[in-house]
Structures are given as C-alpha cells and as structure tokens.
C-alpha cells in the first residue's frame, strides 16, 4: 500500500514535470522519448506489424475488406487524430487509395529518424506493386521516406488542443488510443463534427485504462481529485479520465448518430465495486456497468 511519503513524492514529481511539459513541450518530448504510440517497440518490423494490425481492425469496424478498400477510399480525404511521430497508418491509407490524409497532434512529434524511415520503408515493402508506387510518391523525394512528406498527400497539423480546425473537408476520421488523452472531449467532438462532410464517419478505439498511473486497483487513478490530477498531468497528454458515460453525453450534444459503441475490455465487478466508494466527486454518479468499461470501439456518423 502506498505510504504518505511516496504519495507526496509522486505528486511533487508529477507537478514539476507537468510545469516542464507546459513551458517547453518540445524539450519534454525529447526528454521522455515520447513517440505517441504508447508501446515499446523492439524494431521497425514490430512497428509495421502493429500498423497492419490496426489497419485490419479499421477494416473490420468499417465493414470493409482489403479488396473493397480501394473503392471506398477513392477520392476520399481522411483525418487521423494523434498519429505520433510516425505516419504509418496515414501511409497505408494513402497507398490504399485515399486522396489525402491529414494528421493532427497536440505535440510536434513527427520524425524522419533513421528508425522511422526504416519502418516506413518496411511498410512500403509489404504493399502491392501499385500501392508501393502511391506510397513512394507521397515523399518529397520519390521513394525516400527520410526526405519528408508531400503535404498534398499527407499533411501534419500541430495544434495545442489537438484540433484540426477543418470545415466539411473530411470523409473519414480515425484514431486509436487517442481520445482518452484530449484536454476537452466536447471541443474534440465539435472539431470532428465540423471537419466531416455530411454523412462522414468517425471511427475510434478508446483506451480508458490508467496507462500505468494506477497503484493497486486498476481504477484507483479515478480517486484523485480533479484539481490535483490537472496540476499533475494536464500538459502531458496522460489520460483525461473521461468514462463511457461522458462519451455518450458528448456524442449526443454534437448530434452524431451512433452506429457502433462496443466494449472491448471490462474489469470484473468486484474491482469496480471496491473502488466505487473512493471515486473522485466527478465520478460519483457513474454506474457500476459503465465503470467497468476499460476500452471500446466507437463508430459515429454525421447527420
């Protein structure tokens, strides 16, 4: 069980690093070696496997196949929230036929390091010959990932709130383990709604877990008072702690039509019941059923 001393040390370190992240976000990213993917990769091959697994997931939740994706993407413009330092998913979708992919992030993470360039090349090598030609053409120097991206093919946008600020320009928005990090869920959904063309689709996988910030119970990171959580973490992009009930409410406020809302992971009822009396005030009204949700897929459509 954490001691008072260990909690004081944790809070002090968290506040100091949060100030650091707020004052010098680029330096903080370099200091923490943040990639935006939330996983520890061993090599470029592991990363490309991850991106193609994500691609298969997106196909499944869009009710598409690899054979039908080209027709679906034809003349479509896509938007990815939180791509991190490596535009692997954007490259795959562009190679598969998207007209353009926008990538928006809170932090200036994009990097064409030797490792990332190798990973992009590995992605290209796994594509069909026609797809390889499209992928190679999205770089400033044909076929050279280290030369950077042509903005008319894949364009990065950095915004302090992670917003695209686009207006009826997008056919499909997607993200994976990103929405749980945004500062304002209502503003992000408003940005999505504004960016999408009529009948546009937004597809997201959301991870509601602590991302390593719990101590004993996987939900005990929900016991911190809101004011303290904010001064410890608001500049770092750590979980915003919104639960599934908040997502339902915000979706309703933006007039999206819910096409899919599916739990992927849930904790057991005993874990949820044990932490329920200790929850911070903002979570006091949440039901046990909603509290148990640890990750989910969501597909919404602009009315």
**HEC string for 195-246:** HEEEEEEEEEEEECCCCCCCCCCCCHHHCCCHHHHHHHHCCCCCCCCCCHHH
Q: With bands split at pLDDT 50, 70 and 90, how would you rate the model's confidence at 35?
A: low
- Phi and psi at 31, nearest 5°, equal -65, -40
pLDDT at position 13: 85
Spatial neighbors of 257 by CB under 8 A, at least 6 apart, are 300, 301, 302, 303
CB burial class (10 A; 0-12, 13-18, 19+) of residue 101? buried
Decide if pLDDT at 42 tops 60. Answer: no
| Whether pLDDT at 57 is above 70 | yes
Higher pLDDT, 109 or 59: 59
- Strand ranges inside the chain, DSSP E: 77-81, 100-105, 139-141, 144-149, 154-158, 170-176, 196-207, 256-266, 293-302
Backbone angles phi, psi at 44, to 5 degrees: -60, -30
Q: What is the pLDDT at residue 31?
A: 67
Average pLDDT over residues 78-96: 97
Tell me what the pLDDT averaged over the chain comes to: 92
Answer whether residue 1 shows pLDDT above 50.
no
Alpha carbon distance 135, 139 (integer Å): 8
- Give me the pLDDT at residue 179, please: 97
Q: Rounded distance, CA 242 to CA 263, Å?
A: 15
Q: Is 5 a residue whose pLDDT tops 70? A: no
d(CA 205, CA 237): 17
Crossing angle of the two packed helices 88-95 and 114-125, in degrees rounded to 10? 30
Q: How confident is the model at residue 46 (pLDDT cuts 50, 70, 90)?
A: confident
Q: Is the dihedral of CA 195, 295, 185, 300 positive or negative?
A: positive
Q: Is the pLDDT of residue 108 over 90?
A: no
Q: Report the pLDDT averaged over residues 270-297.
A: 97
Higher pLDDT pick, 35 / 148: 148
Residue 173: pLDDT band with limits 50, 70, 90: very high
- pLDDT the model gives residue 40: 45
Q: Distance (Å, rounded) from C-alpha 223 to C-alpha 132?
A: 49
pLDDT tens-digit series, residues 196-245: 999 999 999 999 999 999 989 999 999 999 999 989 888 777 899 999 99
Q: Which of 49-53, 158-162, 270-274 has the lowest mean pLDDT?
A: 158-162
- Cβ 169 vs Cβ 155: under 8 Å: no
Q: What integer pLDDT is reported at residue 43 of this predicted model?
A: 61
The CATH number assigned to the domain with range 44-302 reads 3.40.50.150
pLDDT beyond 70 at 6? no
The pLDDT of residue 237: 73
* More confident position, 108 or 200: 200
| H and E: helices and strands count for the chain | 12, 9
């Amino acid at each position: 069980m954490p001691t008072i001393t260990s909690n004081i040390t944790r809070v002090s370190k968290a506040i100091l690093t949060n100030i650091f992240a707020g004052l010098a976000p680029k330096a903080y990213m370099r200091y923490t070696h943040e990639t935006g993917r939330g996983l520890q990769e061993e090599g470029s091959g592991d990363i490309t496997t991850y991106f193609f697994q994500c691609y298969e997931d997106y196909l499944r939740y869009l009710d598409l196949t690899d054979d039908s994706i080209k027709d679906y993407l034809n003349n479509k413009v896509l938007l990815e929230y939180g791509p991190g330092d490596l535009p692997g998913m954007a490259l795959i979708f562009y190679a598969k036929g998207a007209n353009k992919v926008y990538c928006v992030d809170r932090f200036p993470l994009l990097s064409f390091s030797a490792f990332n360039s190798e990973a992009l090349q590995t992605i290209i090598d796994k594509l069909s010959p026609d797809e390889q030609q499209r992928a190679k053409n999205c770089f400033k120097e044909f076929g050279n990932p280290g030369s950077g991206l042509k903005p008319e093919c894949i364009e990065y946008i950095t915004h302090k709130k992670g917003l695209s600020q686009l207006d009826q320009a997008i056919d499909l928005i997607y993200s994976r383990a990103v929405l749980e990090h945004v500062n304002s869920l209502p503003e992000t959904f408003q940005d999505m709604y504004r960016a999408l063309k009529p009948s546009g689709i937004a597809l997201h996988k959301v991870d509601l877990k602590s991302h390593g910030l719990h101590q004993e119970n996987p939900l005990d990171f929900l016991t911190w008072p809101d004011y303290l959580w904010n001064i410890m973490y608001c500049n770092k992009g750590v979980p915003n702690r919104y639960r599934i009930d908040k997502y339902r409410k915000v979706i309703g406020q933006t007039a999206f039509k819910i096409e899919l809302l599916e739990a992927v992971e849930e904790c057991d009822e005993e874990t949820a019941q044990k932490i329920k009396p200790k929850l911070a005030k903002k979570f006091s009204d949440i039901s046990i059923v909603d509290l148990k949700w640890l990750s989910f897929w969501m597909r919404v459509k602009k009315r």
